[in-house]
């Protein structure tokens, strides 16, 4: 069931990349997902969403995870 949740949530976020809901859902529902999955969603977001509150939080969260992996 967890796998289906990730797939449906990822599909929604990628299909609605011009909505702030995509960044919000990625942060709240996919916070423990694979970093590649989160990075893919972040790259697909429109510039308006990337500059929104949740877009910035998602980018910061991904950067934090990447920096912890490199240690």
Residue 56 pLDDT: 96
Residue 38 pLDDT: 92
Residue 15 banded pLDDT, cuts 50, 70, 90 = very high
Number of domains in the chain: 1
Fill in the DSSP letter of residue 70.
T
DSSP one-letter string for 30-54 = STTS-HHHHHHHHHHS-HHHHTSHH
pLDDT tens per residue across span 19-34: 999 999 999 999 888 8
Tell me the residue range of the domain where 38 lies: 2-69
């Amino acid at each position: 069931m967890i796998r289906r949740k990730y797939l449906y949530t990822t599909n929604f976020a990628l299909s609605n990349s011009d909505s702030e809901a995509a960044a919000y859902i990625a942060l709240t529902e996919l916070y423990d997902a694979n970093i590649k999955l989160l990075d893919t969603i972040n790259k697909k977001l429109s510039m308006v969403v990337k500059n929104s509150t949740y877009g910035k939080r998602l980018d910061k969260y991904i950067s934090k995870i990447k920096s912890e992996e490199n240690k």
